[in-house]
Amino acid sequence: MAKVMIVDDSTVMRKNIKTILERGGHEVITEAADGREVLPLYINHRPDLVTLDISMETMDGTQALQSLLKSFPQAKVVMISAMGQKQQVLEAIKLGAKSYIVKPFEGDKLLEVVDKVLLAGE
């Protein structure tokens, strides 16, 4: 069972991701609605994986990813993007995100991506 942090400015999306991950046997240990919360929460909780929405108001997912990986280059991050954000996804992968998934997604697809990232590099 992996410990996961969910970062998304949509409460509904965080709840959906949490339900899917818990159904898949993972534990959601913390959640954030803003990119600025990523680094302090990561430091406090040390999750095995972070799901990170690309589009957030105050600090977007790409900026949060850069900030996190500067301090924790080994962090495993899966970007969550909406349709039409290909450029931002490519940028995030270049910066060090391990994978991505596009909304709307099926629960099984999210679990497949998360499990693949968790198994990589073990």
Contact between residue 52 and residue 78 where contact means Cβ atoms under 8 Å apart? yes
Q: Is residue 118 part of a domain?
A: no
Chunked into runs of 10 residues, the chain (122 residues) has average pLDDT values of 96 97 98 96 98 92 97 97 88 97 95 96 62
The size of the chain, in residues, is: 122
Q: Is residue 89 part of a domain?
A: yes
Domain that holds residue 57: 3-111
Output helix, strand, coil percentages for the chain, rounded to the nearest 5: 50, 20, 30
Distances (CA, A) of 1 to 12, 58, 69, 88, 99: 23, 31, 23, 30, 19
pLDDT of residue 61: 94
pTM of the model: 0.95
DSSP 121: T
Q: Is residue 117 part of a domain?
A: no
Q: Is residue 120 part of a domain?
A: no
Name the domain count of the chain.
1
pLDDT tens per residue across span 47-66: 999 999 999 988 999 999 99
Can you give the CATH number for the domain in which 12 is found?
3.40.50.2300
